[in-house]
Chain A
Amino acid sequence: MRANPTADPPAEVRSIPLPAERRLRDSVSVAIAGSGGAGVMTAGTMLLDAAARAGLYGLMVRTSGPQIRGGEAAALLRLSHRPVQALDDHFDLLLAMDWQNVHRFADEIPLRADSLVLGDSGEGDAPEAFTRGGARQVALPLKKMAKAIAGSWGNMLALGLSGGLAGIPLAALEDALRAAWKRSAESLAANLQALRKAYEESATLGDAIALAPGPDSATLAQGRWQISGNEAAGLGAIRGGVRFVAAYPITPATELLEWMAPALARVGGSLLQAEDELASVNMIIGASYGGVPSLTATSGPGLALMTEALGLAVTAEVPIVVVDVMRGGPSTGIPAKSEQSDLSFAVSGLHGDAPRLVLAPTSIADCVATTQWAVHLAEALQTAAIVLSDQWMGQSRAIIDRPADAGCVAARLTAAAHSPDYKRYRDTASGISPMAIPGTPGIVYTADGLEHTEAGIPSSQARDHRLQLDKRERKLLQYDYGAAWADVEGDGDVAVITFGSVSGSVREALARLASQGVAVRLVVLRLLAPALPARMDQALAGVRRVLVIEQNHGAQLYRYLRSMYDLPGRPASFHRPGPLPLRPAELATAIIDWQRAEQPVAEAA
């Protein structure tokens, strides 16, 4: 725990006593790993689907080596009767098809003494990194078992074994396999046989990791979805009214764009592949200037290229939305791994005084509502909105309750044909001025990145510059953002402030602390810019001190909040860079340490 945000993170993560209910395994965590071609992602996806069919909630995080194809990969799952927002501190089961380079995941797949490590007896022992904590090792002849059933694949054995050990009903596993199968009936039969054989085998390995029985599952799955954060953001954009997307591929945002390509065509919109991010952002500005709500998605390097044009959108008052699916930075950084390190850039990375909107989804499910809201806000306020998702949130799949439609859609204030004395950039009380849409007679104007008069004529006069700067700032500050600006939970007299994908781990840490009688208020920011001091004061009423939690090296949220808000007491920061996720126990320990550190010395003694 550091009040000094530049200090190094703690070298090791201590554990705190778990609440009693954890012993009942209200969640089970499974890692399926192997080298490329072993099919671990397929097995993991089917296991998640089977869990959903069995009435469970779940989360699947994908992790892989740097290779384009054929590298080591792991599907990291957590299944529960309750909604799952974070990975657990440890995995109950590591099932490896082989051990080739799987040791590289040792930090991402922490095990403990009661974990089970299951491998192929023909592949040798598990790497020491997985077993040094005392995890039980079991080896089965996986390749031989697959060979014995002609046409069957080893990863379907992995599905049967992991499903059986996790306590998923066989019928749900079979249904998941059938639903995903795209090959011949003979092939399906062979693999169903392999699945059943492995399921039987799992019963001989003990039930040490199985999930506690839950409510009757028959109808639970109804009304639930299985979705990734990237898909959820794409759906939110379309719900919000986006009908044009310009796309340049970049990890880990590409799937968002790929999902939107056919979806947009079905709703009468279109997606265009651009030659680079400079083009994609200027294309959406051009489309939105034409009256069509428009979006692009990218990651840090692409956002950096887009910044000049973001300033154009701000100055010319053309609404656009840019979803930044953040990855480890700076520069090319760690493209396929998560980090929340574009925040400073998003809130302050444009030249000139350029007020803009910055939002962050608070969960995979919330990617729908927050992106939808971002479209609504950008359109209502005629400015640029940046949505900060990240690799963890974007590429993970979750079983969630169907997210309700947030109801907000693009609603741009437009000018009527032949409006008398029309001025595009008129200095109105709200700061929002009606926009003429090309094709409308009698109100033509030129949208301009040059500073301009109210009529849109380029001007370098001090008065015009001041007037337009005030207008562009005022429209963002006067707008009533309502309660959606943040999720405020709990009522302790100390508070944690956080944002984005780490919110799930923070929520779980606070739930564990609450079960031990430690009350901590939580503020998860959905609107990062503009800052809303009055709402923050209200959210923190009665709070003595705050701890800011985030996943980056520079304490970016902490520094931003300290510059924009008068936070109570001496605000503290807990931050560490990616790519490893912040884990609930790590955060619970950090919060307890923070509380202890603030006690008077005599009392602590």
Chain B
Amino acid sequence: MNDLSSPPVALTAANYKSDYKPIWCPGCGDFTVLGAITKALAMLQLPPHEVAVVSGIGCSSRIPAYTTCYGFHGVHGRALAAGTGLKVSRPDLTVLVTGGDGDGYSIGGNHFIHACRRNVDLTYIVMDNHVYGMTKGQASPTTEPDWDNKLSPGGTGVRSFHPLVIALAAGANFVARAFSGDPNGTAEVIAQGMRHPGFSFIEILSPCVTFRPEQRDWKQHVHPSPVAPTDDPARAARRIMTDDGFNLGVLYAGSRAPYAAKSAPAMRSVADLEAEFAL
């Protein structure tokens, strides 16, 4: 038998898309992010059953079931925790964690910080639309302080959260910004993040056309980062702190070693553990 006689059929983005119809509003940025994720998976030619897509709660957190990968749709804000447990106990799997700004930066904010510093080898994709969409239009941590809404008339008056700076300061090994209106660029950044060892954080500007229709203008503002990625966190921090928020691309790619579970000399059997108790 000669394997070369029948080369394996290459997987395309379509092979990663399930036939389950998304619940999103027409025009939602998350459609193209879903497309970009499937394109990135096709670039890496990963067998779908060896990939797990893990999420919490929110519009964008519905993504796992829209793929042909293994999916985990857990509770609000805890996707990174579930994804961390999965990757640490099953390092053979490729783990993607997905979600929105409310899920990741508000209720899940603590897990975000600690996932960055723990640096487990997984990729975290946040579809940021500066609003809680599923609960119909409340301010999220990235919402502008003066954005008027029913829950916070006149706006929250609270300054918005800067996820990229937080990620960098907390120790994320790969920090990038993408825009859902640029599906090919987004796919490329996701693929780079997945290839990069350790915790890769990708913030994707993904407009909510229902509750933030003005975000349709984002496509006028975004632009590729004018300089090459850096592995110097200080330089990256300066860039991220001073850019206009629409600077797209890989903004930091570090070389910190990913988290590795402690190993110890193996035993012949579990019964060996009992020796310490025996008199």
Partner of B84, one of A224, A286, A439, A450: A286
Q: Is the CB of B114 within 8 A of A286?
A: no
Q: Which of B73-81, B154-162, B217-225, B232-240 contacts A (4 or more CB under 8 A)?
A: B73-81
Partner of A263, one of B49, B81, B273: B273
Partner of A285, one of B69, B82, B262: B82
18 contacts between A and B (CB under 8 A): A222-B279, A239-B270, A244-B85, A270-B262, A282-B81, A282-B82, A283-B88, A285-B85, A286-B74, A287-B89, A289-B72, A289-B82, A290-B52, A308-B75, A316-B72, A441-B47, A446-B70, A457-B20
B150 at the binding interface (Cβ < 8 Å):
no
Q: Which of A153-161, A225-233, A338-346, A524-532 contacts B (4 or more CB under 8 A)?
A: A225-233
With A270-B89, A458-B65 in contact, is A286–B263 under 8 Å at CB? no
Residues of B within 8 A of A262 (CB): 264
Q: Is the CB of A312 within 8 A of B75?
A: yes
* B163 nearest CB across to chain A (Å): 17
Residues of B within 8 A of A280 (CB): 81
A243 at the binding interface (Cβ < 8 Å):
yes
A444 at the binding interface (Cβ < 8 Å):
yes
Q: Is the CB of A439 within 8 A of B50?
A: yes
Partner of B70, one of A278, A308, A445: A445
Q: Is the CB of A292 within 8 A of B89?
A: yes
With A275-B114, A279-B111, A439-B90 in contact, is A266–B48 under 8 Å at CB? no
Partner of B88, one of A239, A244, A445, A457: A244
Q: Is the CB of A274 within 8 A of B81?
A: yes
Q: Which residues of A contact B (CB under 8 A)?
A: 52-53, 221-227, 231, 235, 238-239, 243-244, 246, 261-263, 265-268, 270-272, 274-276, 278-280, 282-292, 294, 308-309, 311-312, 316, 399, 402, 436, 438-450, 456-458
A289 to B113, CA, bound (A): 24
Number of A-B contacts (CB under 8 A): 180
Q: Is the CB of B75 within 8 A of A449?
A: yes
Partner of A438, one of B49, B78, B88, B111: B49
A252 to B131, CA, bound (A): 41
Residues of B within 8 A of A243 (CB): 89
* B79 nearest CB across to chain A (Å): 8
Q: Mark B167-193, 1 if CB is under 8 A from A, else 0.
A: 000000000000000000000000000
Residues of B within 8 A of A290 (CB): 52, 85-86, 89-90, 93
Q: Is the CB of A449 within 8 A of B90?
A: no
B244 at the binding interface (Cβ < 8 Å):
no
Residues of B within 8 A of A221 (CB): 279
B92 at the binding interface (Cβ < 8 Å):
yes
B267 at the binding interface (Cβ < 8 Å):
yes
Partner of A272, one of B64, B72, B261: B261
A279 to B85, CA, bound (A): 9
* B151 nearest CB across to chain A (Å): 22
A291 to B270, CA, bound (A): 20
Q: Is the CB of B70 within 8 A of A444?
A: yes
The dominant DSSP class at the A interface is mixed
B266 at the binding interface (Cβ < 8 Å):
yes
A287 to B225, CA, bound (A): 37
A287 to B95, CA, bound (A): 12
Q: Is the CB of A439 within 8 A of B92?
A: yes
Q: Which residue of A lies closest to B49 (CB)?
A: A441
* B244 nearest CB across to chain A (Å): 32
B213 at the binding interface (Cβ < 8 Å):
no
With A265-B262, A266-B273 in contact, is A312–B74 under 8 Å at CB? yes
Q: Is the CB of B72 within 8 A of A447?
A: yes
A271 to B274, CA, bound (A): 19
* B120 nearest CB across to chain A (Å): 9
Q: Is the CB of A272 within 8 A of B85?
A: yes
A444 to B272, CA, bound (A): 38
B54 at the binding interface (Cβ < 8 Å):
yes
Q: Mark B30-72, 1 if CB is under 8 A from A, else 0.
A: 0000000000000000011110101000000000110011111
B265 at the binding interface (Cβ < 8 Å):
yes
B278 at the binding interface (Cβ < 8 Å):
yes
* A288 nearest CB across to chain B (Å): 8
With A290-B90, A446-B64, A449-B74 in contact, is A279–B69 under 8 Å at CB? no
Partner of A286, one of B82, B262, B266: B82
Q: Which residue of A lies closest to B277 (CB)?
A: A225
Q: Which residue of A lies closest to B259 (CB)?
A: A272
A227 to B278, CA, bound (A): 9
Q: Is the CB of A226 within 8 A of B277?
A: yes
A363 to B22, CA, bound (A): 52
Q: Is the CB of A267 within 8 A of B85?
A: no
B149 at the binding interface (Cβ < 8 Å):
no
A244 to B267, CA, bound (A): 17
B83 at the binding interface (Cβ < 8 Å):
yes
A492 to B114, CA, bound (A): 57
Partner of A444, one of B68, B75, B83, B266: B68
Q: Is the CB of A287 within 8 A of B273?
A: no
A263 to B83, CA, bound (A): 24
Q: Is the CB of A402 within 8 A of B278?
A: yes
Q: Which residue of A lies closest to B73 (CB)?
A: A448
Q: Is the CB of B75 within 8 A of A238?
A: no
Residues of A within 8 A of B92 (CB): 439
Q: Is the CB of A225 within 8 A of B75?
A: no
Q: Which residue of A lies closest to B88 (CB)?
A: A272
Q: Is the CB of A278 within 8 A of B82?
A: no
Residues of B within 8 A of A436 (CB): 70
